[in-house]
Amino acid sequence: MQAGTLSKYLKSGAIWGFIVFELIFFSVAGEFLSVSDKAFMDADNMLLLFKQSAPIGIIAMGMTIVMVNGNIDLSVGATYALAAIVMLDSMTWSIFEGMGDAVIFVAWGLALLTGVVLGAINGIIVWKTGVDAFIVTLGAMLGYRGLVFMYNGEQPTSHLNWTLVDFAEAQFLGLHTPTWFLLIVTAAIWFLMNRTVHGRNAYAIGNNREAAVNAGIRVGPHMMINFMIIGFLAALSAVVFYSESGSVNPNDGELYELWVITAVVLGGTKLTGGAGSIISTFGGVVAIQLLRKGLAHVGADTSTVNLVIGLILIAVLFLDRQLNVKGKEELKV
């Protein structure tokens, strides 16, 4: 066994170990502390957990590929809000009057298009100007949020379509619609990253950009496509969530980038790019949602959730570093 195999095994399995730990901990702690009589590992509770993971989880898949590619996207929360507004508002536009429920598909299409376009804007700026993705999407986070406010001022945008609500609340084979979306997106992105040339090249670019360039891989288009995908997924997340809720506030989606990045980092994606697994990201998403639900189950309030998640993120980083220390003789710089 080569050195480092153990640490790698630990790392790839760590997120699942953590999930198991959470399940046991909250089940046991729930016995003593729970504010409700229900067991934590109740089937309904778990189904709900997946459903609630969907909005963050769908975006996290996109974030994984952008981060594997060596970039980051801080504008997903704003993209999410803008796509939601486009979807809800477009259903009331007079040109679509008389379409009946077919308007739903138009609205979805427009919302998804919005996401793709916003992602493409980020992508093309990163590609053509060479400005770091962190700065580009930090700017876009402000800019896109500005667009959200300009759309409808500080008023919420609402439109309830009952067909839509029924669809979003439906259960198929026991799983809720959002859960299905999350699973399908996870499968699709896993396929994209592991089975297609685009996916493998994205890994290569994030791993060793110079080598990729020397091998003739065109870095720009790959980055652009990945930004479009995350834009699309942010919009899809909005479509899934707001089909049910029917009302969006201009502040919605704020701090989503934090949650999403936390899930991705918990899943073990390297900050510098080149390494990361879609399945582990899925684990990261579930772990976070489990933590939120678990803490609520034992009676802790939202403030504790924030505290714990922040500290866990740091602890993961610390553990990761400890596992990668090469030994005492390492150069101390």
Of 142-161, binders to another protein (CB under 8 A) are 142-147, 149-150, 153
Q: Is 219 in the site for another protein (CB under 8 A)?
A: yes
Q: Which amino acid is at 100?
A: G
Whether the CB-CB separation of 274 and 65 falls below 8 Å is answered with: no
Among 91, 136, 233, 235, binds another protein (CB under 8 A): 136
Whether the CB-CB separation of 92 and 159 falls below 8 Å is answered with: yes
Among the residue ranges 46-54, 136-144, 176-184, 237-245, the one whose residues contact another protein (CB under 8 A): 136-144
In Å, how far are 51, 195, 219 from 201, measured between CA atoms?
A: 32, 11, 9
The helix or strand, by DSSP H or E, that contains position 176, with its residue range, turns out to be strand 175-176
Pick 136 or 229: Cβ nearer another protein: 136
Among the residue ranges 9-17, 123-131, 156-164, 174-182, the one whose residues contact another protein (CB under 8 A): 123-131
Exposed, middle or buried, 117 (CB in 10 Å: 0-12/13-18/19+)?
middle
Q: Can you tell me the distance from the alpha carbon of 15 to that of 33, in angstroms, rounded to the nearest whole number? A: 25
Q: Is 1 in the site for another protein (CB under 8 A)?
A: no
Among 37, 44, 97, 301, binds another protein (CB under 8 A): 301
Which tokens go with 209?
A: 């950009």
Pick 93 or 149: Cβ nearer another protein: 149
Q: Is 98 in the site for another protein (CB under 8 A)?
A: no
For 283-286, the CB contacts below 8 A with 24+ separation are 283/15, 283/16, 283/18, 283/19, 284/15, 284/60, 285/53, 285/56, 285/57, 285/60, 285/182, 286/19, 286/49, 286/50, 286/53, 286/57
Among the residue ranges 89-97, 110-118, 173-181, 311-319, the one whose residues contact another protein (CB under 8 A): 311-319
Phi, psi of 231 (to 5 degrees): -60, -45
Cα 23 from chain centroid? 22
In Å, how far are 190, 226, 228, 265 from 221, measured between CA atoms?
A: 20, 9, 10, 25
Among 130, 162, 172, 174, binds another protein (CB under 8 A): 130
Q: Is 309 in the site for another protein (CB under 8 A)?
A: yes
Q: Is 313 in the site for another protein (CB under 8 A)?
A: yes
Among the residue ranges 16-24, 51-59, 157-165, 304-312, the one whose residues contact another protein (CB under 8 A): 304-312
Pick 60 or 239: Cβ nearer another protein: 60
The helix or strand, by DSSP H or E, that contains position 193, with its residue range, turns out to be helix 177-195
Pick 125 or 228: Cβ nearer another protein: 125
Among 102, 160, 187, 317, binds another protein (CB under 8 A): 317
Q: Which of residues 165-204 bind another protein (CB under 8 A)?
A: 195-198, 200-201, 203-204
Q: Choose among 68, 25, 64: nearest CA to 262.
A: 64
Pick 111 or 260: Cβ nearer another protein: 260
Nearest-approach distance from CB 129 to another protein, in angstroms: 4
**Count, residues near another protein per rule CB under 8 A:** 79
Nearest-approach distance from CB 77 to another protein, in angstroms: 11
Q: Is 21 in the site for another protein (CB under 8 A)?
A: no
Q: Which of residues 252-291 bind another protein (CB under 8 A)?
A: 254, 258, 261-262, 265, 271, 274-275
Nearest-approach distance from CB 242 to another protein, in angstroms: 21
